[in-house]
Amino acid sequence: MSEMNRRTFLNIATGAWVASSLSPSMAATEAPPIRIGLIGCGWYGGVLLDAAYKVGGVDVVALCDVDQRHLRETAEKLRQRQGREPRTFRLYHEMLAAGGLDAVFIATPPHWHALQFLAALDAGVHIYCEKPLAYDIRECQAMVRAARAHPDRVIQIGFQRRQSLAIREVRERVQRGELGQVRQVDVQIHYTAGLLDSTPQDPPPELDWELWCGPAPKLPYSPQIGHKSWRLEKEYGHGHLVDWGIHWIDAVRWILNADVPRRVEASGTLVRYAGRITTPDTMTAVFDFDGIPVVWRHRLWGAQEYDPDTSNGVFLYGDEGTIFVTDHRWVFIPRGRPAERKTTEAKADLARLHMEDFLAAVRQRRAASGTVSDAYRSTAAVKLAMMSLDLGRPVKWDSKTHEAVGDEAIRLMKRDYRAPYVHPWRGEPWAGDTAERRDERAWRVS
């Protein structure tokens, strides 16, 4: 297969061909606008709206948030941008029931994703949902099942690094065998966390904290577990690996064509921020992806790294060379020829490309590139690491039944919902999805 054809095929296999070949103006001018409702008007909800406007061809007609200030400020920004204000809602099911939507963006904290995603499927709209797919593995399984029952619905999950030219190029090279056998992968994101006040206090008057907590345990409010900072709280974001590291675990799964790891062993602790956050500020997890050890490390404190250029990214060690890859750059070092070390810069607006792919998929009624099956697997991978931390021992995964091995681990796949919310997993055994067939095809042809 020629280089050109290979590239075209891989792009088709990842669902991005149409997005990259359609100019935004074509998408924007020739069809009626896609009517969008946004659930969760915080930081990333704003990023998604910006991305959608850059692509064009959208009309943001409804907003939902449990914080009246976020709702008001986002509505005002939209009024300036599109000349009229969207309808605003405190309750997402009221927004969905009001109708008039083609698609929703879900940009709430992860403990809300499952209920909102399932309600959106019921309401008949297309979905762009942020990562991680949900808070627990059973929620994810219920979401895969429901998505499978609605094959006409376009679903994009927010792993925008799947649009990275650097990661794509590395994936092609690894699959072509340019690294030889990949023997080990190291993944890391080190940064210095800026923590907020963790003293329990009244929530801001405009924030409905009861509703914000929703199906998750209701902890006393503090700024450190509120807007944007919830990521390092065990009951909400579940820590740095689940929140940010998941992007690289997803990318590694994609590069290696790997499924859920068959074994994960994690260790971690609070060496610096004990009493202020509830997930490790220092952590190592070793994932066994079909015999390839993938080692995750993070440290949220201390001075800048010895080599700051590699503090966020993935190292792939193969028999024929080493690759380091991050969002917009990758470095190749051939074995035995260090002087031929080569750095390639590959800049792209990942948020915009991922949105462009979603909106094109909605117009063309085709699959988007960030599938729910892949998001489930990447979410399961990082959750197994957190389960290993809780249990203080390795956790194994049965790839046939999609169950963790052992009663204690199986119990941790699901967190009980807070009343009156009802967990969407009803005890159904894993019934499969469509991911295996798609991956197999991409692998065979390349």
Ligand X SMILES: NC(=O)c1ccc[n+]([C@@H]2O[C@H](COP(=O)([O-])OP(=O)(O)OC[C@H]3O[C@@H](n4cnc5c(N)ncnc54)[C@H](O)[C@@H]3O)[C@@H](O)[C@H]2O)c1
Contact residues for ligand X (CB under 6 A)? 39-45, 64-67, 70, 92, 107-110, 112, 130-131, 158, 160, 211-212, 214, 227-228, 243
Nearer to ligand X, 147 or 292 (CB): 147
- Using CB positions, name the residue nearest to ligand X: 42
Dihedral of the alpha carbons of 361, 376, 400, 186, in degrees to the nearest 10: 110
Hey, is 233 helix, strand or coil? coil
- Rounded distance between C-alpha atoms, residue 25 and residue 376, angstroms: 33
Hey, is 432 helix, strand or coil? coil
Would you call 166 exposed, middle or buried from its count of C-beta atoms within 10 A (0-12, 13-18, 19+)?
A: buried
CB of 440 to ligand X, least distance (A): 27
Nearer to ligand X, 74 or 174 (CB): 74
Contact 296, 389 (CB under 8 A): no
CB of 416 to ligand X, least distance (A): 18
CB of 108 to ligand X, least distance (A): 4
CB of 439 to ligand X, least distance (A): 22
* DSSP at 153: S
Sign (positive or negative) of CA dihedral 428, 210, 39, 243: negative
Nearer to ligand X, 212 or 417 (CB): 212
Nearer to ligand X, 286 or 325 (CB): 325
Per this entry, what is the length of the chain?
Answer: 446
Nearer to ligand X, 114 or 144 (CB): 114
Nearer to ligand X, 196 or 410 (CB): 196
Nearer to ligand X, 89 or 332 (CB): 89
Nearer to ligand X, 38 or 174 (CB): 38
- Rounded distance between C-alpha atoms, residue 233 and residue 238, angstroms: 6
CB of 6 to ligand X, least distance (A): 28
CB of 44 to ligand X, least distance (A): 3
CB of 257 to ligand X, least distance (A): 22
The closest alpha carbon to 32, from 73, 3, 61, 66, belongs to 61
CB of 150 to ligand X, least distance (A): 21
- Rounded distance between C-alpha atoms, residue 146 and residue 213, angstroms: 24
Would you call 257 exposed, middle or buried from its count of C-beta atoms within 10 A (0-12, 13-18, 19+)?
A: middle
CA atoms within 13 A on the CB side of 76: 6
Edge-to-edge strands of the sheet including 292-299? 342-345, 329-334, 321-326, 312-318, 182-189, 292-299, 282-289, 263-269, 395-398, 403-404
The closest alpha carbon to 308, from 191, 390, 406, 417, belongs to 191
Nearer to ligand X, 227 or 272 (CB): 227
Would you call 8 exposed, middle or buried from its count of C-beta atoms within 10 A (0-12, 13-18, 19+)?
A: middle
CB of 65 to ligand X, least distance (A): 4
